[in-house]
Structure 1
Amino acid sequence: MLLWPLVAVVGFCVLAVLVVVLGASSTARYEFERNQVRAARATAPAAGPQDAVTHSGAQRAPAAADGGQQPAAQRSAVGVAHHPAGRRLGEPASPPAWWLLDDTADAPGIRVVAGPFPDRIAAEWATFADDAPIGARVEHGVLRPDGTWVRRQQPAEQAWLVALGEQLDRLGDVWDELLTDDDALTTLVVEVAAALVEAGLPLHDCAGDGAAGGVCLSPGHGGVLVSWHQHERMGVEQVRGSALGSAVQSTMNVAVADLLSQLGFAVEAVGTSGCSLVTSAA
């Protein structure tokens, strides 16, 4: 009966000795490899970093020497925009972006101060830099390879033109033969449509089969006829009754005419129909 406890004790001692031996072997191997790495680093040539600094300095020297020949716009631009939102000048021929410009200096032309910036807010922050010139302004454009700056349409303006184009597509087919680039009526209907959309009123989709309402624009004698078109639920199905539908129609016609009048358009009432004739733009 004393045999099994003795075997257990002997086995435990053997396993403990084996663990100690393996651990010591692993530690010795790690120390050996670490010493090899240290020796390799110690024997590496120390001239590498010095060569890198020398090459870097050699590359900077011509740029510094030519600094007097660079355009004033580029020479002064890279030193501005110390504000965290500011950025250095981008590579020439970069895509359209926001830039900080200064055209108040004695030198003719536009001087690029800093950029490009990802958005207008970041560019506005750059105007608070310590060495930003007084009167610097934020514009959207591109920097050409020759260093000249060219204005480009702002993203918000592009989005607005797309939205306005979608609204103008709702004009009825009667406009197709009347709209031309140099026609006064074309200019007027576009300006009326833009004013209405800016105020938050959509145009009625006269060219489609939609049930939604909106402002209906039709060609008139010497101008654009403007009237309100209700949703089919009120105008056709009369879900709220004919009397209330007529009252809403009259109210909206007056509201649209008053809106255009306040925006500076010349508006004339057309009989008792509730329509209005816009004869001139603001």
Structure 2
Amino acid sequence: MTTAMNLPTLSNNATSLENYIHTVNNYPMLTLEEEVSLGRQLRDQGDVDAAKHLVLSHLRVVVSMARKFVGYGLPQADLIQEGNIGLMKAVKRFDPDRGVRLVSFAMHWISAEMHEYIVRNWRMVKIATTKGQRKLFFNLRSMKTSGSSLTPTEITDIAEKLGVKREEVMEMETRFSGQDLTLEPFDDDGEETYGPLAYLTDAEAEPSQILARAEHDRLSSTGLNNALASLDERSRHIVESRWLQEENPATLHELAAEYSISAERVRQIEQKAMQKMKLALHA
């Protein structure tokens, strides 16, 4: 549905954005009966034209919600585009027989897409990765009573209201107060300047270091193969399944079921095999 639907064009150009907003505000709002009818056509028949009417009639909602996030310094047009994706996801999942208007259902999806876009792009370094951090990210600035640092009382009050730890409030406050730092220096005065990038040279990228690491890796790989070869077939399989699988390593219980023995017995075999391999590696 999202790939076949043509929405009004939108760019970050001020005139284009103004024209877009004017256009979407002219799309008529749907009555409850129209919304239910179109929703059933989409759900029961996969009617893309019905989906288009549902989306177009709610584009103004996305514009309205995008205005709430202009303080983050991101292009409003981009926020609207992300919100439109959320709207289309909501329309796709909308059930008209649940007694909930599409606008109420869609607001969650629109907001989620905008939040994800903001967190992904507001800073080069991710500042909100957990659920608690996201809650702080989108509420902390509005809850501060002044532009100065939070007082201990304010920290406690915000933590209680949002259901997070005081330490998380203080950490997010610190992240907000930080500034992005360019890695390249600005060369605007004709003088030789240095940026942080000049101090990030990897000393281990020297050719001699690369060759030394390659030889070490080769010897380690050979030693590991020799150590594994010293084990019996069952012990080698257990070690490889438990420790040498990059994805989905086997559990003790899975191996126990495979060999019809107890998980404790598998653990004992594994421990004995690891000791034998250790001796082989140091031989």
Q: The TM-score by the shorter chain falls in which range?
A: under 0.3
Structure with a larger share of its residues in helix: 2
What is the TM-score normalised by the length of structure 1?
0.24
Q: Which has the larger radius of gyration?
A: 1
Structure with a larger share of its residues in strand: 1
